[in-house]
Structure 1
Amino acid sequence: MIRGIRGAITVGEDIEPQVIDATEKLLQEMIQKNNVDPENVAQVLITVTHDLISTFPAKALRNFEGWVYVPVMCMQEIPVPGSLEKCIRIMMTVETPIKQEQIYHAYLEGATVLRPDLSKS
């Protein structure tokens, strides 16, 4: 079955090392908790809020062994007034036997406010 795995994380400052480190942390959580094999990933879409422009967070995925051929794209989030700032969001499309309600969606740091109903430890 094809499933979407969501995740989000915030950073303190818009500097490349922080953006890459936060993205790696989020990806690691999503990959480990859902037992994702890169061979089963169709695509990874990454969005950032308008205040994150220092780097492409997709660079972080290239630090993971076996992920070099997974298609990744970065985009800018819609700048809705009052929305969460300095936020990186990820949507990973994977083939998995896991049921929809058993997918672990990772909301870390300040991003836990986005989906407190899905924020798990």
Structure 2
Amino acid sequence: MTLQQTRFVPAPPVTPGEFLRDRILVPLGITQDQLAAALQVSRFSVNQIVNGRRSVTADMALRLAKVTSTSSELWLNLQRDLDLYEAQLELARKQPQLTVLRQPKEGSELIVDVEDD
């Protein structure tokens, strides 16, 4: 019997738009028009975010935090997680031949302080 090597494929993260739609707009009965007015942006901008066609910028994160009583970090973290996931998929697809320049210290997988060397 041989062991098959399995590759871990993470589940896609919740997008800022999914979070906005499923956790705020729908439960509270808020329309995209109402949100756009509260944010002082176009309905098109809100719709693009909700449908995953536009990223949440720092400015938009601050606006969303203010009008939804959340934090800007929430929105930026959701966007960061999505960006990293998409970049990871793209990098895996391209399969670049990256050269490792620094090996982790023995018994350590993470770099805590690069100045310890």
Query: Is TM (by shorter chain) over 0.5?
Result: no
TM-score of the pair, normalised by structure 2: 0.23
TM-score of the pair, normalised by structure 1: 0.22
Higher relative contact order (Cα pairs below 8 Å, separated by 6+ residues): 1
As a proportion of its length, which structure holds more strand? 1
Bigger Cα Rg = 2
